[in-house]
Structure 1
Amino acid sequence: MDSYRNSDPRPPIMQGSPPAMVLPKLDWDRPPWNRWAFQHVREFLPTAEVWRGNGHRHRLERAEVDLDGLPVEDSGGQPTTLAGLLDETYTDGFLVLKDGKVAYERYFNGMGERSLHLSQSMAKSVTGSVFGILVGRGLIDPARPVTDYLPELSVTGWAGASVQHVLDMTSGVRFSEAYTDRYSDIGQVDVATGWKPVPPGSDPAFRWPSHMFELILGLKETIRPHGAAFEYRSIETDVLAFIMERVTGKRLPQLVSEELWQKLGTDESACFTVDSAGYAVADGGFNATLRDYGRFGQLILDNGGGVVPADWIEATRNGRHGPDFNPSLPEGSYRNQFWIEDPRSRALMCRGVFGQMIHIDWNSRTVVVKLSTYPDFSNVAYSVATVKAVRAIAAALD
């Protein structure tokens, strides 16, 4: 089915009693269903709370600027406005913080200030930041082998890899991130996490993993020496999360709550989706509000704010940049579960499929959050246009 933009009529997905259009379990993250599903994950998947605690709410001061008419380029490079680009790129929520104050905030597609939105792979940066806290506390040494913390992985492709290799996604483990292939490794992650059922009509001889650690133990092969090259593979983040759980004796949602979410002064508790073994999906199962994603971005911009070690943030901003690093970030890099935009600005980015982004820029003192539901897993033209718009916003607010 085709998707719909915010300027189009909304189909009655999960509306009415009984609903006129019921969410399909196999394709809830595909269009048009994802436009409803990404804001309602707790209604169809098991989740674990990331408690905000009983502490203060960090009030975001406001210094609002009407940027709706700001001239930017659309995905085809033609003139449009920021409002037009947000409509074109299936935006659910958009937030700009300038010097920690709300400069611009917009909601679409039924989203509101209390709505929890699926982060997809922005969850990797949340997980990586808490990992940095544990490193700063001396509980984990990134230079040590992964198997020092998870000896079970000695029979997998991670044998001989360091923790830093996993943080930077430079281990040599064979893992296919082919999203549209239900039999690929990432397709098997969908089943292992409980996000999707076993595809109907699948080969009865194919052994589907029943939970995430079982899938990890089945990844036996390497395709290159550890540390030789970056290759984006979501499973690396889940290995990191199992290390965190092993050294602390706590589950990931509790760790993120105690070490990060309660200290941010968030508006709302967040949540992770969990698999059949109760494991929180570290690589993409985190859900939070637009403003709370902004608070997280601001914490990173404030060099960790005394929560995440400042030297961890500085190290994260220093990656190995190469030509044609990524289709939408040709001068980019990847370090400690964050993307780096380019070697000059060293701006950090959290990115997730279907158009999730937190852009953190020290030069302009801005944090930009975009929550989206693209019709496709990725769209290079949308991503490039969004980053260009972020630069235009920074210039307009300077």
Structure 2
Amino acid sequence: MTSISPFRDPTAPGNPLFPRQDWDRAPWNRWTFQHVRDLLPTTKVWRGAGPASLLLADLRDIDVIPFVAEGEAHTIGSFLETSYADGFLVLHGGKIVAEHYLNGMTSHTQHLSQSVAKSVVGTVAGILIGRGVVDPAASLTHYLPELEATAYRGATVQHVLDMTSGVVFDETYTAPDSHMAQLDVASGWKNGQNPNWHKNIWDLVLSLKDLECPHGTSFRYRSIETDVLSFVLERAAATPLAELVSRELWAPMGAEEDAYFTVDAAGYALGDGGFNATLRDYARFALLHLRGGEINGRRIVPSEWIAGTRFGADPKLFGGIYQEVLPAGAYHNQFWIEDTARGVYMARGVFGQLIYIDPVADFAAVVLSSWPEFVSTTRTRTALAAVTAVREALL
């Protein structure tokens, strides 16, 4: 069944869907996160010509599983009803044990991943690092000499993989004059109110001239770091990002559906947050990680890189507000590490996107959402409590 936007009269052609500047904000995001290709220029990530990887199912009734979060009692069923969830899938023992679609989403709907895209790009980086195409210890200027005139001079590829460069980048999502607001304009997601703002991501990168601390001394979440990494991958492999993701990851892992990226005015696929895919294909991505970089008997990601991602982070660089959600956490290779001892790691995105990966328990969960807030400590803690309650109930 075709979904029709609830935000316009479909009998009145030409009426805007919603305020253009607010397409990713509540309440519009309840519809737009499942229809990004209807709103913005995009480029396809081809699934390839081969068969889809088989996802076996052993469905369980998990809705009644209880848990407590933020001092309140919940069940998984009540969590799904009240958390602005659009899709929820659980893997255990290599099989789907729960699969829920909400808010009009279907198994064929591609949902915006926001910063889960960073972990997709990071995984492709791991593949190219394993093949020797990219050296994480090399300077960024080895691949992108243009950055010599920016604050990225002296930083390495690993620094942007870990977001530990010292470059000033204001990630404030709601500030009208932040670097993040400039990134929204440069990516083509928003219309610029300032005529002097850059019209593509590369030019925005080149404008970053200030340092807040020496490279490698502290983790600071900077979305632009993933774009710098993406430009490194494109330059090193002489291949556009969407084609790289298709060739190195999406097709080899046996995705069932094409994915897609939003693109800026220069045609760059937005590596930091513009990736869209189906719930089951995000689950295949999680299963690939659960299996240490293999799927259906095929090695795709080096096992050493997977292990290094899980256990190679330096928690001393991770602190401040980031520990409100992950008190024992870290960040490494474009993944959030929940627990540096157990090696549980996650892909996370604003407005409630989550891929939770616990190889020890052979467990993963995918949550796709359209929260009313960009970020919420309470909602994030609740989602993690829900996921871990399911994990414990299955063990």
TM-score by length of structure 2 reads 0.94
Q: What SS is found at the alignment partner of 1:263?
A: coil
- The equivalences for 1:313-392 within 5 A come to 313-318=306-311, 319-322=313-316, 325-392=322-389
CA distance in 2, matches of 1:275, 1:78: 43
Aligned residue for 2:53?
Answer: 58
- The equivalences for 1:245-324 within 5 A come to 245-305=234-294, 306-318=299-311, 319-322=313-316
**2:5–2:17 CA contact under 8 A, matched in 1:** no
Q: CA deviation at 1:182?
A: 2.3
Letter in 2 for 1:28: W
Aligned residue for 2:84?
Answer: 90
Q: CA deviation at 1:343?
A: 2.0
CA distance in 1, matches of 2:381, 2:238: 41
CA distance in 2, matches of 1:259, 1:193: 24
Distance 1:189 1:179, change over 3 A: same
**1:238–1:283 CA contact under 8 A, matched in 2:** yes
Q: CA deviation at 1:11?
A: 8.4
Aligned residue for 1:149?
Answer: 143
RMSD between superposed Cα atoms in Å: 1.5
Determine whether 1:186 maps to 2:183: no
Q: Which runs of 5+ in 1 are unaligned?
A: 1-9
Letter in 1 for 2:65: L
Letter in 2 for 1:309: P
Moved more, 388-397 or 237-246: 388-397
CA distance in 2, matches of 1:182, 1:216: 19
Q: CA deviation at 1:85?
A: 1.0
CA distance in 2, matches of 1:382, 1:276: 34
Q: CA deviation at 1:14?
A: 4.6
Letter in 1 for 2:310: R
Aligned residue for 1:175?
Answer: 169
**2:141–2:147 CA contact under 8 A, matched in 1:** yes
Q: Which runs of 5+ in 2 are unaligned?
A: none
TM-score by length of structure 1 reads 0.94
Q: What SS is found at the alignment partner of 1:79?
A: strand
Letter in 1 for 2:360: N
Determine whether 1:113 maps to 2:102: no
CA distance in 2, matches of 1:227, 1:301: 29
Aligned residue for 1:16?
Answer: 10
**1:50–1:256 CA contact under 8 A, matched in 2:** yes
Q: Deviations over 1:317-368 (max 9, x none)?
A: 1211246543211111000000100122210100000000000001211110
Q: What SS is found at the alignment partner of 2:339?
A: coil
CA distance in 1, matches of 2:389, 2:308: 27
Determine whether 1:224 maps to 2:218: no
Distance 1:293 1:94, change over 3 A: same
Letter in 2 for 1:313: I
CA distance in 2, matches of 1:15, 1:290: 29
Letter in 1 for 2:44: E
Q: Deviations over 1:134-153 (max 9, x none)?
A: 11111111111110000000
Aligned residue-pair number: 383
Of residues 198, 201, 213, the one that matches 1:209 is 198
Determine whether 1:35 maps to 2:30: yes
CA distance in 2, matches of 1:355, 1:30: 13
